[in-house]
Amino acid sequence: MAWFDGLLLDALKYGVLALSLWALVDAITRPASAFVAASKLNKPAWIGITALAAVFAYLTGALQLFWLLAAVAAVVYLVDVRPAVRGLQRGGNNPW
């Protein structure tokens, strides 16, 4: 069963890495004015946060402190910041 535990931890690690890379690419592609209009941190700050999250997710093992911080940073961007910036960019409140 040790092989299953290792496989599960690898899946968690690469899942958080994929989430943080998705957040980073999304932060890069959004216009800087949308971050200010949504009353969020500015674009360079979110690019830095998500880039650090991607680096920590890549370099650390699953369930370590920096890996958990990377997971939280990516989830906060994708759940809170992305919908606000995306809604302003499209000009409506439609979440789709």
Q: pTM of the predicted model, to two decimals?
A: 0.86
Residue 33 has pLDDT above 80, yes or no: yes
What sign has the CA pseudo-torsion 58, 63, 69, 74? positive
Q: Are 69 and 56 in contact (CB under 8 A)?
A: yes
Residue keyed to tokens 């980073």: 24
Instruction: Please report, for residues 17, 27, 42, 57, 69, the alpha-carbon distance to residue 66 in angstroms, rounded to integers and kept in the order given.
Output: 12, 21, 23, 8, 5
Separation of alpha carbons 41 and 55, rounded Å = 20
Q: What is the mean pLDDT of residues 68-90?
A: 91
Question: What digits encode the pLDDT tens for the residues 12-31?
Answer: 999 999 999 999 999 999 99
For residue 10, the SS3 value is helix
